[in-house]
A and B are shown apart, each in its own frame.
Chain A
Amino acid sequence: MIRRRLDELYEQYGYRKFRMSKFEPYDLYAENRDFLKSSQIITFTDLDGSLLALKPDITISIVKANPGKGEKVYYRETVYRPKDRHYREISQAGVECLGRIDAYKEAELIALAAKSLELYGHRFVIRVSDAAFLKEFFHAGGFSPEEEASVLSCFSSRNAKELDVFLEARQVDADVSGRLRSLMELYMPFREGVDAAERLALSDEGRRMAGHLRSLCGILDNFSVLPFVTLDFSLATSMDYYNGIIFQGAVEGIPFPVLSGGRYDKLPEKMGKSLEAIGFALYLDHLENYLESPKHYDVDCLLVYKDGDSPELIAKAVEGIVSQGKKVCAVSSGGDIRAKDIITLDEMLGQLRESGAG
């Protein structure tokens, strides 16, 4: 099963399994609401009257539990979140790296994201963007926070028309407008993309940030994942959560992103810890619902017996089938069970006699 291979992968790279209980004090989530996808949380009262919540997120708990030291952890947990107007149990796996985050660690996380998706054996892509680079561009271009939000909303839908309308209405300088349009259009293999981003940067600081992205190329190449990585600034969601690299993974055949992550130094800062942080989560439900080959039957073998057949002989026949490494269901009538083979008790006993004789 792939879930176990994910665990093995993360352990190979020195990540330790993080386990947590199903619930945390509600206050933990109330205080860090900005870092949650939704503020709707399942709450209940503990025996002493304090308010608890079923965990909607794992990262917050990992940062909370961290004693202020560097650590590398992974998890496989269930979170409880609203989806389609109902609460759902959602299976997630994820990896978090806390401490001082350097270029190596950033690249390692992107590489682990790529290697996670590689396990599923389909075409996949990791799209990478950089919130810090975009912020610096807006800063150097003199955009207000509201203008920034409008531009980002065009970016996330790659809406060139709306972006043009906006830039013209605000009479944004033609050179800046042109660069912004090119940044939005940009969708390139990582190394080439970084070169383009460097040319489009407005300030020395922006070019320095592009230089940082370039330093990841060589590391990703040595992890053998560079060909799977694409630079794409349309990945502009959750810009208030992430403060640097943002990345998302997709697998061909699944219409939604199945992995998302990035650099999130603001969460530990908010929780009063002097840590930097980067991590990602893998949406196992999407991956398994869309990719794992559907089963075509419930059991390998349906053993059908009649009223009056000897229970001892049925047991003997069942054990005989199980010993062949097959799954068997013994029934007196077929019912709704789908089986690869159907065999009657008499046939099975006949087979056993033959093999016993032979």
Chain B
Amino acid sequence: MLNIALPKGRLGEQTYEKFAQAGFDCPQILEKSRKLTFENQEKGLRFFWVKPSDVSIYVERGAADIGVCGKDILLEYEPDVYELLDLRLGICRMCEAGLADFYEDGSRALRVATKFPRISAAYYESIGREIDIIKLNGSIEIAPLLGLSDVIVDIVETGKTLRENKLCVRKEIVPISARLIANKVSFAFLHDEIIRLRDGLSEPGGKDTHD
């Protein structure tokens, strides 16, 4: 039985659709119910929904053999897992954004508000910019408006939220998309099942190409 952790929400639903199209389905999952886990005995699959940022924890600690989570989570928490496939879902960018008229004074530390302190620290370190990180847990966009920070580092999909808050993208840090991840020990014991799933998921668009 292959245990699969999917992220709750829209990305998880898109992911499940992709699994189902590739033949790794579990009809139960579409029924409205209070159940937490869903099994397809015949195909040896058990799905469950967890908070998106928890998927990598379930997989790293082996409660799930495989899972789907955003590259942002992998970069931020660096779980010790295999990253087997780019599912090309949930495509967005990790960006630095600020008020349109913000003037960056290079002689001062840049105050950065973000949910992703590790990604931010690594990025600014790589370009040699001194920063002051302000870790927030939500509503990041408000930080520059209230003068809490100079800029924010956050995920940008369409840019609508930024525009509504009069912010604009200043730098793109890294592209983000959903990845298929696997526990390293599960990979050893369920190798054939996991490879079959990976290859099945990478087929529809042909080879796992990238742009």
Decide: A234 and B208 in contact? CB cutoff 8 A.
no
Q: Does B61 contact A (CB under 8 A)?
A: yes
A297 to chain B, nearest CB (A): 27
List of A residues within 8 angstroms of B208 by Cβ: 160-161
Within A217-257, the residues touching B (CB, 8 Å) are 230, 232, 234, 250, 252, 254-257
Inter-chain contact B83/A125, CB cutoff 8 Å: no
Does A38 lie at the interface of the complex (its beta carbon under 8 Å from any beta carbon of B)?
no
A161: B residues at CB distance < 8 A: 83, 85-86, 208, 210
Is B24 in contact with chain A by the CB < 8 A criterion? Answer: no
Determine whether the beta carbon of A158 is less than 8 Å from that of B83: yes
**A187 at interface, CB cutoff 8 A:** yes
For the complex, is A123 an interface residue (Cβ under 8 Å from B)?
Answer: yes
Does A40 sit at the interface, judged by CB under 8 A? no
Count of CB-CB pairs between chains A and B under 8 Å: 50
Partner of B81 from the list A157, A165, A254 (CB cut-off 8 Å) is A157
The answer to whether A127 and B210 touch (CB under 8 A), given A162-B83, A255-B183, is no
Inter-chain contacts of B86 with A (CB < 8 A): 161
Cα–Cα, bound, A102→B185 (Å): 30
Is the CB–CB distance between A157 and B83 below 8 Å?
A: yes
| CB of A131, distance to nearest CB on chain B (Å) | 18
Residues of B within 8 Å of A159, CB to CB, are 82-84
Interface residue count on the B side (C-beta < 8 Å): 21
Within 8 Å of chain B (Cβ to Cβ): is A164? Answer: yes
Q: How far is the CB of B100 from chain A (nearest CB, A)?
A: 32
Q: Which residues of B contact A234 (CB under 8 A)?
A: 82
- Which A residues lie within 8 Å of B129 (CB)? none
Majority SS at the chain A contact face: loop
Bound Cα distance A18, B191 (Å): 38
CB neighbours of A230 from chain B (8 A): 188
Given contacts A158-B187, A159-B84, 12 further A-B contacts (CB under 8 A): A125-B189, A157-B83, A158-B83, A158-B84, A161-B208, A162-B83, A165-B210, A234-B82, A250-B184, A250-B189, A252-B185, A255-B62
Interface residues of B (CB under 8 A from A): 60-63, 81-86, 182-189, 191, 208, 210
Given A157-B81, A161-B208, A234-B82, residue A187 in contact with residue B61 (CB < 8 A): no
16 A-B pairs within 8 Å (CB atoms) are namely: A157-B82, A158-B82, A158-B182, A158-B187, A160-B84, A161-B208, A164-B210, A165-B210, A187-B187, A250-B189, A254-B62, A255-B61, A255-B63, A255-B183, A256-B62, A257-B185
Residues in chain A near residue B82, CB distance under 8 A: 157-159, 234
CB-CB nearest 6 A-B residue pairs: A255-B62, A158-B82, A250-B185, A159-B83, A161-B86, A157-B83
Across-interface contacts of B188 in A (CB, < 8 A): 125, 127, 230, 232, 250
Bound form: Cα–Cα A230–B183 in Å: 17
**With a CB–CB cut-off of 8 A, which chain B residues contact A123?**
189
How far is it, in angstroms, between the C-alpha of A252 and the C-alpha of B62 when the chains are bound?
A: 10
Q: A187–B191 contact, CB under 8 A? A: yes
Contacts of A257 in B (CB 8 A): 184-185
Contacts of A187 in B (CB 8 A): 187, 191
Complex CA–CA separation, A255 to B5 (angstroms): 15
Per-residue interface assignment for chain A, residues 145 to 179, with 1 indicating a CB less than 8 Å from any chain B CB and 0 otherwise: 00000000000011111101100000000000000
Q: Nearest residue in A to B60 (C-beta to C-beta)?
A: A255
A232–B186 alpha-carbon span in the complex (Å): 14
Chain A residues with CB under 8 Å of B187's CB are: 158, 187
Min C-beta distance of B118 to chain A, whole Å? 15
Instruction: Enumerate A77-128 residues with CB–CB distance to B below 8 Å.
Output: 123, 125, 127
Interface hub of A159, A161, A162, A165 (most chain B Cβ within 10 A): A161
Interface residues of A in 304-354 (CB under 8 A from B): none
**Chain B's nearest CB lies how many Å from the CB of A49?**
39
Bound form: Cα–Cα A308–B189 in Å? 61
Determine if A256 and B85 form an interchain contact, defined as CB atoms under 8 angstroms apart: no
Q: Which residues of chain B are near A254, meaning CB under 8 Å?
A: 62, 185
CA A157 – CA B182 in complex, angstroms?
9
Residues of B within 8 Å of A162, CB to CB, are: 83
Q: How far is the CA of A12 from the CA of B63 in the complex (A)?
A: 37
Chain A residues within 8 Å of B81, by CB: 157
Residues on the B chain within 8 Å of A250, using CB: 184-185, 188-189
CB distance from B145 to the nearest CB of A (A): 34
Give complex CA distance A164, B83 in Å: 13
CA distance A257 to B82 in the complex (A): 14
Contact residue among B60, B182, B189, B191 (Cβ-Cβ distance under 8 Å from A252): B189
Q: Shortest distance in angstroms between A58's beta carbon and chain B's nearest beta carbon?
A: 23
